[in-house]
Structure 1
């Protein structure tokens, strides 16, 4: 189950709106959706969360390229929206992303025996199994400083878990009630 919301900065503070991701297939689609919610090309912060397994923050400032942070890339890569963002951050193309379709939720390929290795002992997980694609980090991925000028430093963002989106909204000066109203 996903939760997705957009926070658009206005003259009067932050305005929250929930968003449907049904038509979102790429980061560009998500950025376009955020730009539609923008007031006077001001900052929009998009949140995506999957049942406390991972969260993503996407910042769109006018026509600038979106900036993305994922709290747990390996977990995110096992879900459709998380895989989309992970692929974008790692520079994977659509053909490589199609290889993810053969993965089980545990990250092994169909028919591949699972190993006893603890993924937390590894720095990265390579779900494409030897294809030469960049490995997916077991942990955060992306621009951890994307909210630094809005009051959430890199260190603070990297330490968040659990109800991270409420903490982020509160730090931005957006009341938790505003975010919760769209949850």
Structure 2
């Protein structure tokens, strides 16, 4: 189960609202959503949480590039919304690398044959084939079939750990957040009174 909320800073403090992600397919979509909620191009925070698994924060300041923090990159990689946040830049890889890998995997099956071609591998090599494919099979019951390959993503927190430092939540405290992270963030930002509007 996912939960998403927007926190927009105004002259009178923070305004909070829950938000739907149905039409969000890319980080650019999410950034546009934040900018639409911005008051005088002030800071907007987008909070996304998959219950008891991971949470992410995207910070948008005017026209600046979005800043991103993900609490558990491996868990987020198994999520369709996590994939939005785990950009090539955040993962430190060449842009488009994931698309290239996916295209190659579609062209050539895991058994080394072209898509649609019969598998002529002798039976006595079946153990070798099993060894080659075992690392790619997932027995994880939480894998929803979306997102990046979790094996290619570093474990633990990823991104800008100082994303909320100037707003009242230091790096060390951010890294300690696990469950009910939004309430902790709102409390640190002095926005605890707006929590009921988004829960």
Q: TM-score, normalised by structure 1?
A: 0.78
After TM superposition, the runs of 4+ consecutive aligned structure 1 residues lying more than 4 A away are 91-95, 97-100
Partner of 1:27: 27
Unpaired stretches in structure 2, ≥5 consecutive residues? 103-109, 111-129, 137-147
1:169 matched to 2:179? no
The 3-state SS of whatever aligns with 2:178 is coil
1:95, CA displacement in angstroms? 6.2
Structure whose residues are more often helix by fraction: 2
1:113 matched to 2:134? yes
Unpaired stretches in structure 1, ≥5 consecutive residues? 101-108, 116-125, 130-134
1:86, CA displacement in angstroms? 1.2
Partner of 2:98: 96
1:18-167 superposed matches below 5 A? 18-88=18-88, 89-90=90-91, 91=93, 93=95, 96=98, 112-113=133-134, 127=149, 135-167=152-184
The 3-state SS of whatever aligns with 2:69 is strand
Deviations 1:28-85 (A, max 9, x none): 1101100000100000011000012000011000000000000000000100010121
Superposed CA RMSD: 2.5
Aligned length: 159
> Structure 1 residues 137, 128: closer, same or farther in 2, change over 3 A?
closer
Flag the structure with larger Rg.
2
Deviations 1:2-29 (A, max 9, x none): 1000000011110001111111111111
The 3-state SS of whatever aligns with 1:34 is helix
